[in-house]
Structure 1
């Protein structure tokens, strides 16, 4: 983790608070069905965290709630209870807990869960969230930056690419809401994103570019599917982007002092 003033649990709690505008808007429009889905994902994710917490004698964590909220909002629809349980279990365990818990994982566990569900049950339709939920991503991102748990460079890099693409091709407006929601819930995860200054810009720009590429190349693909796929690849590239940023900084320093 790279947030020096905050320990891991405080960062997780602040991320949860930043998610509240989107979560509350989604619950308001989703009603009882959305609430039941959220309770289920929180229980399953929390159960796996409790099992590993007890096995490793670790303190309680808010990290499981981050996964539960993101999966509840973004997971494909019409999944059976068993399918949803399998996806959350795989994402929580293989995407996070086997690495030692949140803060030591490589990918966001919710991203792993959603990718697993999308690949395994490709016939299940992805959600099409109402516009107020997408608009709520803006205060969520702003709160994350103000709290110091989301990278402003990453967010601005993504929005710059997406905004430029939207100006060039107005038809991409259909993908923008899903991209904003995924940016707030998955891509801006401080653990799974790039941590250097240049890496943050590149990570956000890569996410935006992948969204545009997939949206134009995958005819008929659901916007949420496009955004989640872009989030997965952008997260996988984050370590490489950090290494690139460090290599460039080292080269400039050697040239200056050589």
Structure 2
């Protein structure tokens, strides 16, 4: 693709295209329940985008579809429609729109919304993702790498950490656990806006995500796998700016040694 055509909206469009295999596998498994949940989430997301367009001349973004898909797939079942609307609204507004829209946000709005619903309503059941979502997530990651939207270093770091966890006997490859780990990684950790920007930072963020998954599986007994994966993604994305800063400090230190 021509470099000058990489705008925020073309990035969102190609990212949405990359996620289509994941969306299709999930909708195929969930059928009408998944379709209704996704449509309701889309309405809430774009209602707030319309409000910000009218109040602040902030144009809507295709990234809202990605946000709605991530929330619909990963958010726990809120105890009533008001709680769900409140959680999605909090994530979209506080996680993205107040910063000026997609591309300027610090955290993925879906991460904020899911965390709000999960920690605000601890008794709400977390979803159990279909096994086929694993293949959808792998296909989405492959397409994302081909489009240049997903970092191969971020993926490699996570793969190394999860591989070591598997060698240690942790069930990260269990077909009932792997979907939550891979889907959360694909939708939230690999988001090109909120993931690390430096090469070393991406390696570190991937290692951190996989390492946190291993740690939580070892210590956090009784929690749903999606809850564990969401917590790992939240911490990994929160630390992405710090990892980039440390990577830049390391680069400057190496450069001073070579020049000195």
> Could you say whether these structures have the same fold, taking a TM-score greater than 0.5 normalized by the shorter chain as the test?
yes
Could you say which residue in structure 1 is the equivalent of 2:157? 157
Q: Map 1:4-153 to 2 at 5 A.
A: 6-77=6-77, 79-153=79-153
User: 2 CA distance for matches of 1:107 and 1:5?
Assistant: 25
> What are structure 1's unaligned runs of at least 5 residues?
none
User: 1 CA distance for matches of 2:25 and 2:183?
Assistant: 12
Aligned partners of 1:162 and 1:176 also within 8 Å = no
CA displacement at 1:101 relative to structure 2: 0.7
CA displacement at 1:221 relative to structure 2: 0.8
Deviates more, 1:197-206 or 1:173-182: 173-182
User: 2 CA distance for matches of 1:193 and 1:73?
Assistant: 20
Could you say which residue in structure 1 is the equivalent of 2:248? 246
Q: Secondary structure at the match of 1:131?
A: coil
User: 1 CA distance for matches of 2:20 and 2:126?
Assistant: 22
Could you say which residue in structure 2 is the equivalent of 1:210? 212
Question: After TM superposition, where is structure 1 displaced by more than 6 Å over at least 4 residues in a row?
Answer: none
User: 2 CA distance for matches of 1:8 and 1:74?
Assistant: 25
Could you say which residue in structure 2 is the equivalent of 1:234? 236
Aligned partners of 1:118 and 1:225 also within 8 Å = yes
User: Residues 78, 115 of structure 1: CA spacing in aligned structure 2 closer, same or farther, 3 A cutoff?
Assistant: closer
User: Residues 5, 209 of structure 1: CA spacing in aligned structure 2 closer, same or farther, 3 A cutoff?
Assistant: farther
Q: Deviations over 1:20-41 (max 9, x none)?
A: 1111111111011110000001
TM-score by length of 2: 0.95
CA displacement at 1:170 relative to structure 2: 4.6
Aligned partners of 2:95 and 2:107 also within 8 Å = yes
- How large is the RMSD of aligned CA atoms in angstroms? 1.4
CA displacement at 1:56 relative to structure 2: 2.5
TM-score by length of 1: 0.95
CA displacement at 1:4 relative to structure 2: 7.4
Aligned partners of 1:21 and 1:139 also within 8 Å = yes
CA displacement at 1:243 relative to structure 2: 0.1
User: 2 CA distance for matches of 1:246 and 1:191?
Assistant: 18
Could you say which residue in structure 2 is the equivalent of 1:186? 188
Give the total of aligned pairs. Answer: 256
